[in-house]
Chains A and B, each alone.
Chain A
């Protein structure tokens, strides 16, 4: 690997410390924040074509 990506990735992980009881690497924190953002977007963003759908349903029989 070479270039800016290697400069970004081939270094020891940076850690964030919250007081003395929790530490988390920046990379793990980014992944968790991405998942939270995805979850929020999945709840809030409208699904394409959802208004034109009929109320066809099949639930637990």
Chain B
């Protein structure tokens, strides 16, 4: 067998049956690099209402970084030292801003019917991210290790028992809630957020309802 024959039998990168090649081809087909990292946006994006999505992500990054510091240093540090209280406040107020920005983002997208133009998956991932955020915030309130957390946990315990899920999800079990809050839910929320942003890149930013057809393109 000659070298020529070997070369002719070797599949090209485009027609390889390897899962890596199929994944790469699918990615390039759906989300080429110029769509993933654009340097221009439609004219209608020059509006403050389009800023709240990235503001939500900025608040999310603040929450992740401050949460990482809190997780390593622990409650004995963040309840007693000045720096600990500051980082704890960064985390708490970051969450407040996160929800404020996300709700304004949601209102903006709802009133411009942002699911138009095959953007259903973008809308659905945003909705799931919102629900996951509520769960993450709730478990965060439960692990404040203060009287507020105790009050919320014991009120929630009765609620969860009433709907029959108290055996699986126990707000008073701080070990369970701590792990769900610092390990599971940030990962879930992070993955959903990445999917959401990739879908926005794939389909483009939704145009206003009255956008001219040539601008909407």
Asked if residues A34 and B203 are in contact (CB atoms below 8 Å), the reply is no
Interface string of B45-86 (1 = CB under 8 A from A): 011110110000000000000000000000000000000000
B215 at the interface (CB under 8 A from A): yes
Count chain B residues whose beta carbon lies closer than 8 angstroms to a beta carbon of A: 28
Q: State the total of A-B contacts with C-beta under 8 angstroms.
A: 71
Q: Tell me the bound Cα distance from A55 to B42 in angstroms.
A: 7
Cβ–Cβ < 8 Å partners of B104 in chain A = 35, 38-39, 42
Q: Please, which residues of chain B bring their CB within 8 A of the CB of A38? A: 100, 104
Q: Is B40 an interface residue (CB 8 A)?
A: yes
Chain A count of residues within 8 A CB distance of the other chain? 21
Given A38-B104, A39-B108: A61 touches B204 (CB 8 Å cut-off): yes
Q: Which residues of A contact B (CB under 8 A)?
A: 31, 34-35, 38-39, 41-43, 45, 47, 49-50, 53-61
Across the A-B interface, the 7 shortest Cβ-Cβ residue pairs: A50-B46, A42-B48, A57-B42, A56-B40, A42-B49, A59-B217, A59-B204
The interface of chain B, by Cβ under 8 A from chain A, is 35, 38, 40-43, 46-49, 51-52, 96, 100, 103-104, 107-108, 117-119, 203-205, 207, 215-217
